[in-house]
Structure 1
Amino acid sequence: MSTIPARIERLPYSSFHRKLLWLGGLGYVFDAMDAAVLAFMLPVLRTQWHLSSVQTGVLASGTFIGYFFGAAFAGILGDVIGRRKVMVSALIVYCIASLISATAQDWPFFMAMRIIAGVGTGAESAIVAPFLSEFCARKYRGAFTGCLAAFFSFGFVAAAILGYLVIPLAPDAWRAVSVITALPIVMLLWWRRALPESPRWLDSRGRTAEAAVIVERMEAVVRAAGLPLLPEQAFDTSPPAPVERRTPLGQLKALWSRQLAGITVMAWLMWLSITFSYYAFFTWIPGLLVQSGMTITRSFSYSLVMYLAQIPGYFSGAWLNEKIGRRATIVTYMALGGISALGLALTHSDTEILMSGFLLSFFMNGTYAGVYAYTPEVFPTEVRATGMGVSSAIGRLGAIAAPILVGYLYPRLGFAGVFGGTTLMLIVGALAVLIMGVPTRGRSLEEIAALRLER
């Protein structure tokens, strides 16, 4: 039986993991910048290209259409050909499409480039969390993955700063922003060239010797730092024999096996509810504030404050992942987010809008810290990337629908209709996780897989 999982489980947090956190996290920074900066471009592009409210919503959904296909295919391919190859390829696709989008002269071409860029960012965001979580031991895996997801917040804040400082400078300043968000990817690709493949994935494919070489490197880093290594026999985490190689369709069918069907439904509902709510809010909030009577500059400054709430939201969620568990963190933050959205629906003054928006941003991003940690844990190694990727893709359906639906509802129902619906979606997601989820805190990935088999 393989000892690879046991050897990983005994490793303390080290500089090896810190490097993984930075290389994965910086990818999330640029993913978030790409998604968030569009919210600040839309009010400008709407005027420049004379777009209707519905056309603006369709344009906002372009990235998420790409996200859907990128996340789904990245997850499936990540289980078939490996996590690392998919992650690097995704960045290349995003970088090229984002640079080309800066040359767009009309909204259909711009949308086409946004869809292609979305394929890259969707693939990146779906593959990084399951990939890097497989290097972590149970005692810090939840905090690690939650902090990894927290890098999204820096990307959103950076996008808000670009929107506040750069986009108002000139009618075509949005083109410079598209270039700014893409160019740093070249450096990140260079840094990631030495990233190893997941040893747990290699082990599950019968490539145990290759996995052992990577784990030996991890152990060498720990020994060089003078950190303690616990004995392997302290962990009973040996996985079953390597699974048979499946086709991409076989990977999808595995998600609906008797053992995984309930988990798959839970994950899909969780991702759909939080992603719909998240992008209904963040894609439209600058534009909605402008339509409600604010100047572009003031609406962007309010949006920046709301985006800043993401940072404490993510890191508080990452901390609670280990204190109360991922499932409890998700349910609590979704419920509190629903209350905040209800407050936004019922509020009238600018100050109340700012406070409710700040809280909604805080709790929705804290939810994501739990979601990104929890989803890879509830699927076994052989379908972990598929489970994460397809769940994320289902969530992107919410991201696709949300901007279009908000564009349709806001002229008819105003803030109350938009954020009343957000409250309902968050409550549905919280109930799904509460009723159908499984506990993962304090368990190795192999123990969680065994727990599902017993249910």
Structure 2
Amino acid sequence: MSTYRTKSTGSRFQNRVAVLSGAGMFLDGFDVSVIAVALPGLKAQWEITGTMEGIVAGSAIIGMFLGMLFGGKLTDTFGRRKMYMIDLSGFIIFALLAAFTQNVWQLIATRFLLGLFIGADYPISSSITAEFTAPERRGRFIIFMSLLWQAGAFFAYLTGIAMFPIGASAWRWMLGLGALLAAIVLVLRHDVPESPRWLRQHGRIEEANAIMANIEHLQGNYFDNSSEKAARAHKGTSALHGTWWELFSPHMIRSTIFCCTFWFAFAVSFYGIQMYTPSILKPFTGGNPVLAYVGSSVIALLGVLGAAIGMVTVEKIGRRKQILWCFVGMVIVLATLALIQNPSMIVLIVLLSSAILLANLGPGVLNMVYPNELFPTRLRASGVGFAGSISRIGAILGVTVFPIMVSKWGMANSTWLFAGVAIFGLIISFFMAPETQGKSLEELEELANNGWKEVPTHA
């Protein structure tokens, strides 16, 4: 039985779910980014080459591809809460094992396994947040999770600065810290209940009602679906109902294509920059590695600022305008960076910071909002997970191809890769991005089932 036995006000409970889900995303950001901080020390200790550097940096991202793909489906099948707890156990185990590895292949293996659980956390945490949050706060709360991802990435760079004096073993402490943080979050998550929407979807009405009765904002119009409206929302679904293949059915294909492609475009640029920031800046530091960490921290901090601004604006200007204008800005900044052949360190930091800020203000936070709003309850985690897994292909491309391009053609010329995918993301968003602001999940499900044509008002 999944019940929540402490009477709670709606706002307090929503805040708690958002914070605890966001804590998982903080861990995601930390664990993904900390390898960038550890790489300079690892390269010196184990004599890692450029090609192997890409494999080390990309190993967790490859794991994330599978974790997102299957984690979302498992979450839709077995429940949000169960996966919510199991997932963090993997964080603890494999972050700890990574810290004790003795060679590069052991590190690649443990980071890959850690990536499975990092990837699974995206559909798990975001779906439980979306399903417990009122429409007028949903976008803001899901973006808050993305904000904490950026905060985790920023904290990884601060960790690098703080632990650098330890010496040759500093990278082990950096990687191992993720296990301690995950253990704390696991303890704090223990009393988060199962999503009533998921319970109702699986016929467990009494359990759903018991949870709703103990949380004030879940009473009344929480579901916004009378039996008649629920029937309309599911009208036209086929035998594929609730399966992966339904993501490609006529009423879901637009959501699937849009979420996959814009997230892919964002991931190529973001991860290509984020994972190599210290290495990109190192030639400009005069041999002082701490300066590379400081510069990387500034860039990561601008990412946090971008997500923070996005959290404020998403419920004011809407999803569509936000993603379009941020992609436009990314194209301008990245093209400028590509045209400057020999930038100073200050110029490099300003342009990289601007690119990361715009990425996180737009597609980097809406990649969690849009999939949770465009896929129905029966497919929400699966849809988020599938779109996220496709984005990991983009991340793998950015992480593995970029250093090879830099070694052959230089930093400036290689940046055209990022500018090009930003243009691709802009085009896809212009033609396919809907406006979902202020709509309940049930209204959005009804729109999706009608191919995103306006649905007549029903009596």
Same structural fold, with TM-score higher than 0.5 when normalized by the shorter chain: yes
TM-score, structure 2 normalization = 0.90
Displacement of 1:454 = 2.3
1:226 matched residue in structure 2: none
* Pairs within 5 Å for 1:225-236: 232=221, 235=224
Count of paired positions: 437
Displacement of 1:249 = 11
Taking the aligned partners of 1:356 and 1:422, their CA distance within structure 2 comes to: 13
With over 3 angstroms needed to count, the CA separation of the structure-2 counterparts of 1:180 and 1:201, relative to structure 1, is same
Answer yes or no: is 1:319 the counterpart of 2:312. Answer: yes
* Pairs within 5 Å for 1:31-430: 31-219=28-216, 232=221, 235=224, 238-240=229-231, 251-291=243-283, 294-295=286-287, 296-347=289-340, 348-367=343-362, 368-430=364-426
Contact 2:233 2:445 in 1 (8 A): no
1:441 matched residue in structure 2: 437
Contact 2:35 2:175 in 1 (8 A): no
Return 269-278 or 425-434, whichever deviates more.
425-434
1:172 counterpart letter in structure 2: S
2:113 counterpart letter in structure 1: I
Displacement of 1:441 = 0.7
SS in 1 for 2:100: coil
Deviations 1:170-198 (A, max 9, x none): 01111111111211211211111111111
Taking the aligned partners of 1:336 and 1:392, their CA distance within structure 2 comes to: 23
Contact 1:206 1:242 in 2 (8 A): no
With over 3 angstroms needed to count, the CA separation of the structure-2 counterparts of 1:190 and 1:430, relative to structure 1, is same
Deviations 1:340-390 (A, max 9, x none): 222222331221111111111111111222221111100111101100001
Deviations 1:140-192 (A, max 9, x none): 11111111221112101110101122135301111111111211211211111
TM-score, structure 1 normalization = 0.91
Deviations 1:206-246 (A, max 9, x none): 22221111111111xx69xxxxx8x6499556423998999
With over 3 angstroms needed to count, the CA separation of the structure-2 counterparts of 1:276 and 1:247, relative to structure 1, is farther
Displacement of 1:298 = 1.5
Taking the aligned partners of 1:329 and 1:447, their CA distance within structure 2 comes to: 21
**What's the Cα RMSD here?**
2.5
Taking the aligned partners of 1:96 and 1:195, their CA distance within structure 2 comes to: 22
Taking the aligned partners of 2:239 and 2:21, their CA distance within structure 1 comes to: 27
Deviations 1:18-59 (A, max 9, x none): 111111111111111101111011121112111111110111
Taking the aligned partners of 2:118 and 2:16, their CA distance within structure 1 comes to: 21
Deviations 1:72-128 (A, max 9, x none): 111111111111111211111121011011111110110000000111111112321
Taking the aligned partners of 2:317 and 2:221, their CA distance within structure 1 comes to: 27
Taking the aligned partners of 1:28 and 1:217, their CA distance within structure 2 comes to: 27
1:188 counterpart letter in structure 2: V
2:428 matched residue in structure 1: 432
With over 3 angstroms needed to count, the CA separation of the structure-2 counterparts of 1:255 and 1:389, relative to structure 1, is same
With over 3 angstroms needed to count, the CA separation of the structure-2 counterparts of 1:38 and 1:241, relative to structure 1, is same
* Identity score, percent: 28
SS in 2 for 1:196: coil
Taking the aligned partners of 1:52 and 1:442, their CA distance within structure 2 comes to: 50
Taking the aligned partners of 1:418 and 1:158, their CA distance within structure 2 comes to: 28
Displacement of 1:437 = 2.4
Displacement of 1:12 = 8.7
1:454 matched residue in structure 2: 450
SS in 2 for 1:322: coil
